[in-house]
Chains A and B, each alone.
Chain A
Amino acid sequence: MPMYTLDWFANFGFSVLRLSTPLIFAALAAVISRKAGMLNMALEGMMLASALAGVIISGLTGSIWIGLIGAVIVGVLAGAIIGFSNLTGKTDLYLTCIAFNLAATGGTVFVMYLLTGEKSTTSAAIKAFTVPSITIPLIDKIPLIGKMVSGHNLLTYLAFLSVYIVWFFLYKTRLGLRLRAVGENPKAAGSVGINVTRIGYISFLISGILCGLGGAFMSMGWVSFFMKNMTNGRGYIGLSAMNIAAGNPVGSALAAIFFGFSDAFATMIKGRGGNFPTEFIEMIPYIATIAALVVMNMIRMNQKRKIEKGLKQ
């Protein structure tokens, strides 16, 4: 059976893009926080809360779009809660984020139980709604690319669009410039009249919107129901993707796609059956993160040394 045909590559590419979608959203959410000078570790919990909210609200209202908006609103609310604790309440950001993740893990099950009486999944209790997939006219006719790029969930396209939007926001708008200024040096930014707290809130809220979309993709796109702990660490992988690219939106998205690729690769190997130790492939994202961080730091140190050398001469 000829396996590695053009069709196979198209399907594999399709799989990569789908697997990357939640990772891209999470990575971009991490980018916004990072550029404002914060490490948002609560992405996981924010996505989980949004995933549940999307399912419940769309189930209650019977509308996909209200559900999607609901997921985003819950993401924003989650961001506001963390922002309030950290910026107004002056709590430690890491502890707040860890606490929020734990609360989201238990809290989503609690809310699900209150509303549906189920403790693990809403797949039977709530009518499923999914964000539609879109076939792009003309492009879907191109041989390899068409099959790979066309027919994705609307949220997948939105993820790629968000890369541009986030880049534009950070580097081409006044608010983005201020946000980066706060991230570089909050005291200096404050001294020229930027409201540092307000910028902090804005970064959490934008982070919340992106996590909301990522969460909604999990429960209203990829599958059509909520399951306890269904994000399964994807928020943390998004955070790693951001770290690899040191907060650059395009680089972070590329890293997220690389993680999506290794995930698709592991799935493909697994799907062949037999007993290949797929745990090894599943380590790739984590090993890649460590390797990339080390390599990047080495490059940075090298540059620093060169600059220092140049200064001496």
Chain B
Amino acid sequence: MNKFMKKAMAVSLTLAMIFSLTACGEKNQPSKTGGSSGKGRIAYIVGALGDKSFSDSGEEGMKVLRKEGWDCKTVEAGDETKADKWEDTILDTMDEGYEYIVASSTFRDVLLKLAKEYPDHKFILFDDLMEESEIPENVAIIFYAQNEGSYMVGQLAAGMSKSKVVAVNVGMDNPVIADFVTGFVEGVKNYDPNCKVVKATVGSWTDPAKMKELCLTQARDKKADVFYQVAGGSGGGLFEACKETGTWAIGVDSDQYSYYKESENPELADVILTSMLKNVGDSFVSLFHDIDAGKDVWKKVNRLGLAENSVGYVENDFFVKNVPEEIRTKMKETQDKIISGEIKVKSYYDFANESEYQSLLDSVTP
């Protein structure tokens, strides 16, 4: 009996394997024909989907591209703790025949290394910035002008603040985040030179408790009354603190007002005036349209800002209801000026060194 069971087990396992192999084969078939029909095969590498902002926005772009006939695959490569496996994960995807590899600045080192080793593949590195002379032939860089978007919400924050102290709280410090902060501070200064900014770092993307404590402290000691979060998961703590202290919050990356309004805890949305948007998905779509049209996007930085509608802010009913018209008009004017080039928003990447950034922060510290 036991022997029979073992044999039956072996047979069924073998069958299962064969079936799964054929299943794979079948699955690959249409995608290959899809590739030959003119459009390419794109692999989108992310840490993990489900962040409701940055990564998910990219996934939305992939969905659009898929409908247009591109063969898109999304690969969740895991967070920093899996960094040693990123290269293998991407290589596996390339082996499957994906010619375009799309990944964020998190994967920068791996991507640049692979770009050198596999000149026939094309790599799209988004949310990053490099000297154009250093970019390999087969790499395209997408850079979002988060400083322009943050400049806009900085104007809003300065306009809405009664105490003339606003806060920008970030998860961790890195160049992209510093660019957010730079734009925000510049926006506040431009709107009201007397308005002060407290900038603080939580030290983690996943510590909402610490973020909440930080915001409560800022509201208490510095009387900050508008809070801008660039802190990923920690941001949830900021919204709760704003709810408790009756202050305003500004979200980031995606429309966090509607995200919470449609959730199980809609009352959390009632502090979120607007969100600074980073339309990652749209940027993929427009980049691949350019590639399809034969435009040269390689070996250069494809900079996307307010003018390209890749960054911006949410103007929903809640925003219109709570922001006085005077401020809204001023914001519109500023937006037009940035798009026309009349205002050139300072960027973190313009600074010669770190101390210039620090002195900018010092200049607005209350």
B200 within 8 A of A: yes
Residue contact A15 to B217, C-beta cutoff 8 Å: yes
A and B contact pairs by CB, cutoff 8 A, 30 listed: A3-B221, A8-B221, A113-B50, A119-B51, A123-B236, A123-B263, A124-B264, A124-B265, A125-B263, A125-B264, A222-B212, A223-B208, A223-B237, A227-B207, A229-B206, A230-B208, A267-B210, A267-B213, A268-B217, A268-B221, A270-B201, A271-B198, A271-B218, A272-B222, A273-B167, A273-B196, A273-B366, A274-B365, A278-B201, A278-B203
Interface assignment of B318: CB less than 8 Å from any CB of chain A: no
| Docked complex Cα distance between A209 and B358 (Å) | 46
Which parts of A108-131 form the interface with B (CB within 8 Å)? 113, 117-121, 123-128
Extra pairs beyond A268-B221, A273-B364, A275-B362 (7, CB < 8 Å): A120-B206, A120-B233, A123-B236, A124-B259, A230-B206, A267-B213, A272-B222
Binding site for B on A (CB under 8 A): 3, 8, 11, 15, 18-19, 59, 113, 117-121, 123-128, 218, 222-225, 227-230, 232, 264, 267-268, 270-275, 278-279, 282
Q: Does B114 touch A at the CB level, under 8 Å?
A: no
For the complex, give the distance between the alpha carbons of A42 and B259 in Å.
35
Closest 7 CB pairs of A and B: A119-B50, A273-B198, A124-B263, A271-B217, A274-B365, A273-B365, A270-B200
- Whose C-beta in chain B lies nearest to the C-beta of A273? B198
Closest chain-B Cβ to A278's Cβ sits at a distance in Å of 7
0/1 interface trace, chain B 341-358, chain A, CB 8 Å (1 if under) = 000000000000000001
> Among the listed B52, B220, B361, which residue makes an inter-chain contact with A124, where contact means beta carbons less than 8 Å apart?
B52
B260 interface hit (Cβ, 8 Å): yes
Question: Is B207 in contact with A230, judged by CB distance below 8 angstroms?
Answer: yes
A228 to B167, CA, bound (A): 25
B residues contacting the other copy or chain, number (CB 8 A): 45
List of A residues within 8 angstroms of B366 by Cβ = 272-273
Which B residues are CB-close (under 8 A) to A124?
52, 259-260, 263-265
- Per the bound structure, the CA–CA distance linking A191 and B48 in Å amounts to 54
**Which B residues from 79 to 136 make CB contacts under 8 A with A?**
none
CA distance A121 to B7 in the complex (A): 46
Nearest-Cβ distance from residue B200 to partner chain A, whole angstroms = 4
Measured CA separation A224–B196 after assembly (Å): 30
* Bound Cα distance A125, B50 (Å): 12
- Is the Cβ of B236 less than 8 Å from the Cβ of A267? no
Chain B residues whose CB sits within 8 angstroms of the CB of A268 once the complex forms: 217, 221
A119-B48, A123-B265 known; A225+B208 contact, CB < 8 A: yes
Query: A225's closest neighbor in chain B, by CB?
Result: B236
Q: With an 8 A cutoff between CB atoms, is B297 at the interface?
A: no
CA distance in complex: A113, B48 (Å): 12
Verify A275–B207 contact, CB threshold 8 A. Answer: no
The reply to whether the CB of B49 lies closer than 8 angstroms to some CB of chain A is yes
Contacts of A218 in B (CB 8 A): 209
Chain B, residues 225-262, CB within 8 Å of chain A (1/0): the string is: 00000000110110010000000000000000001100
* Bound form: Cα–Cα A121–B201 in Å: 20
Return chain B residues, CB-CB under 8 Å to A123: 208, 236, 260, 263, 265, 268
- For window 169-197 of B, CB contacts with A under 8 Å fall at 196-197
Q: In the complex, which of the residues B50, B201, B204, B207 contacts A118, with contact meaning CB atoms closer than 8 Å?
A: B50
> Could you tell me the distance between the alpha carbons of A313 and B200 in the complex, rounded to whole angstroms?
61
Given A113-B50, A123-B236, A227-B208, CB of A267 within 8 Å of CB of B268: no
Minimum CB distance partner of A4 in chain B: B221
Closest A residue, CB atoms, query B267: A128
Which chain B positions have C-beta within 8 A of A119?
48-51
Whether B214 lies near A267 (C-beta < 8 A) is yes
- Is residue B330 within 8 Å, beta carbon to beta carbon, of the partner chain? no
Q: Is the CB of B213 within 8 A of A232?
A: no
- Report A-chain residues with C-beta under 8 Å of the C-beta of B264: 59, 124-128
Q: Which of A119, A264, A282 has the most CB of B within 10 A?
A: A119
Q: Distance in Å from the Cβ of B220 to the closest Cβ of chain A? A: 5
Q: Out of B201, B217, B236, which one reaches A227, CB within 8 Å? A: B236
Contact of A275 among B51, B220, B361 (CB under 8 A): B361
Find the B residue at minimum CB distance from A116. Answer: B264
The answer to whether B299 has its CB under 8 Å from any CB of chain A is no
User: Which residue on A lies nearest to B366, using beta carbons?
Assistant: A273
The answer, yes or no, to whether B73 is at the interface (CB within 8 Å) is: no
Q: In the docked arrangement, what's the CA distance between A8 and B223, Å? A: 12
Set B198, B199, B217, B365: member contacting A267, Cβ < 8 A:
B217
Are B197 and A273 in contact, CB atoms less than 8 angstroms apart? yes
A271 and B365 form a contact (CB under 8 A): no
Alpha-carbon distance A270/B201, docked complex (angstroms): 7
B206, A227: Cβ atoms under 8 Å?
Answer: yes
Interface centre among A19, A218, A225, A275 (most CB of B within 10 A): A275
Taken together as a complex, chains A and B put the C-alpha atoms of A218 and B221 apart, in Å, by 24
Measured in the bound complex, the distance between the Cα atoms of B207 and A287 in whole Å is 22
A228 to B234, CA, bound (A): 10
Chain B residues, Cβ within 8 Å of A229: 206
Give the most central of B198, B206, B214, B364: most A CB within 10 Å. B206
Distance of B366 from chain A, by nearest CB (Å): 7
- Chain B residues positioned under 8 Å from A270 (CB to CB): 200-201, 214, 217
Instruction: Compute how far the CA of A11 lies from the CA of B203 in the bound complex, rounded to whole angstroms.
Output: 23
Q: Which of B196, B200, B210, B220 contacts A11 (CB 8 A)?
A: B220
Residues of A within 8 A of B52 (CB): 118, 120, 124
A120-B51 CB under 8 A given contacts A19-B213, A272-B221: yes
Kindly provide the distance from the CB of B70 to the nearest chain A CB, expressed in whole angstroms: 25
B365 cross-chain contacts in A, Cβ below 8 A:
272-274
Cα–Cα, bound, A18→B210 (Å): 11
**Contacts A119-B49, A124-B259 given: A273-B222 contact, CB under 8 Å?**
yes
Q: In whole angstroms, how far apart are the Cα atoms of A223 and B237 in the complex?
A: 7
- B-chain residues with CB within 8 Å of residue A278 when the two chains form the complex: 200-201, 203
Complex: A310 Cα to B83 Cα, angstroms? 58
How many whole Å from A159's CB to the nearest CB in chain B?
A: 15
Given A119-B50, A273-B198, answer yes or no on A18-B213 (Cβ-Cβ < 8 Å): yes
For A275, give the chain B residue with the smallest CB separation: B358
Chain A residues with Cβ below 8 Å from B259 are 124
Distance between Cα atoms of A128 and B208 in the complex (Å): 14
